Structure 1
């Protein structure tokens, strides 16, 4: 089985290439999300994974409803998002650029 890879690039001291098993080494958090899909109605899912950035409440989902996302790759999950059509799946790269100060809102 080929594992999906996520590249972290940009203004980083140590750019990285991660797989879902790599992401499982970070503390895991769980969120339940619900959204209404025009074609299939209301859907409810539970995601588990490490937070991308705690202040933003973004989760890098490595499983959905208990099913690993090893082949598909992680998903960005925003628990407060009301519309599932905006979810981002199969994440392959996250690029971080300078100019941001951690902790500043």
Structure 2
């Protein structure tokens, strides 16, 4: 029964996270976007919210937004990757970059074995 209650709460959680993703505090936005990126809610509002953050001043917000779009195979992922540009040292092994690289590779090699 707990799972059904979780499903009932999902729209409220999604709305709250989308509001927090617009918070003036970069750390709050970053945490909210990171959660949204991993969130299982595939509602268009979530993808639209992530896409709306691609110009954020805070790198972690842009990275999490791009990652969330890639996880949803959203066509705006290509734009998100372009907007990220070259990341500073220290991100080489970030799992989000691996996901973005894999998404790009799959788009460039349709039907290719991974």
Q: TM-score, normalised by structure 2?
A: 0.23
Q: TM-score, normalised by structure 1?
A: 0.24
Q: Which has the higher contact order (CA 8 A, sep 6+)?
A: 1
